[in-house]
Copies of this chain bind each other. A is one copy, B any other.
Amino acid sequence: MTGADSPKYLQLYQLLKGQVQQGIFQTGEYLPSEHQLCQEHGLTRTTVRHALDELIRDGFIVKEQGKGSRVRERGKSLNLLNVKGFSEAAGPDVQTHYLTPIRPGSWPESFRLPVGQGPCLQFERIRSVAGQPVMLEKNWFPDLLSPQPIASDFMEDSFFKTLSGRYLIEVTGSKQSLQAVTADARLMKLLMVPAGTPLIHIHVVFYTSQPDFNLYGELYCHTDPYPIGNTYLRP
């Protein structure tokens, strides 16, 4: 994708990003200093700093003046309104039940956002916290990954972490549409809520660093036990 003649700062950026994702640099660990990176790769500080700036923008590292550049906990910068919010908010007490495996399907109709084309995979799952179901989640994505992912391979049941760690695809943005609805019969049964319970219905598309690879999701959230949290802080 990014050949040998891509800008040097991008090459260094991708090298370091890969090393962070593969755990060669662990969370909280310091990267080599800027001067050291200059010598190791035969670059000037301007170029090295440009690469590090990109890593900061993507939320991979933070800088500490007088100390160094430290690997940051992942996923903070794009914790928009997505599944991670639940996992992080509720800690380790999250269970995931797959209603369907990852399987060939077709793009959703009457989606409130523009939808993809071509072959498509889909899966549906329920997220529970402390045994209580809080979200029904249906997802679609293009059948372009190889090897084809299967749910049991998911890292921490997170599609995003799997994409990032195994396929080096980063989520770069998202568009969402939210509506309040009342649970129908199927939702009452799956989420174990009484009739008339208000839910938040979300349509979402996630854009990634790979063009033409967008993720689509349709969510129903029972927010009484756990409100949906959403934080955005400028990096």
Q: Is the CB of B177 within 8 A of A229?
A: yes
A155 CB-CB contact with B under 8 Å: no
Produce 1/0 per residue, A74-92, CB < 8 A to B. Answer: 0000101100000000000
Produce 1/0 per residue, A18-42, CB < 8 A to B. Answer: 0000000000000000000000000
A230 touching B180 in the complex, CB below 8 Å, given contacts A81-B81, A198-B199 = no
Nearest CB in chain B to that of A204: its residue: B230
Q: Is the CB of B230 within 8 A of A80?
A: yes
Question: At the interface, is chain A mostly helix, strand, loop or mixed?
Answer: strand
* Distance (whole angstroms) from the CB of A22 to the closest CB of chain B: 23
Nearest CB in chain B to that of A89: its residue: B177
Q: Which of A81, A175, A199, A232 has the most CB atoms of chain B within a 10 A radius of its CB?
A: A232
Instruction: Say how many copies of this protein the assembly contains.
Output: 2
Within 8 Å by CB of A179, from B173, B179, B196, B223, lies B223
Q: Is the CB of B200 within 8 A of A182?
A: no
Produce 1/0 per residue, A216-233, CB < 8 A to B. Answer: 000001111001111111
* Distance (whole angstroms) from the CB of A49 to the closest CB of chain B: 10
Q: Is the CB of B80 within 8 A of A178?
A: no
Q: Which chain B residues border A223 with CB–CB below 8 Å?
A: 178-180
How big is the A interface, by class? Answer: 35 or more
Produce 1/0 per residue, A152-179, CB < 8 A to B. Answer: 0000000000000000000011111111
Bound: A221/B172 CA distance, A:
28
Within 8 Å by CB of A228, from B46, B177, B197, B229, lies B177
A112 CB-CB contact with B under 8 Å: yes
* Distance (whole angstroms) from the CB of A25 to the closest CB of chain B: 22
List residues 6-60 of chain A with CB under 8 A from any CB of chain B.
Answer: 46, 57-58
Interface residues of A (CB under 8 A from B): 46, 57-58, 78, 80-81, 112, 172-182, 196-200, 207, 221-224, 227-234
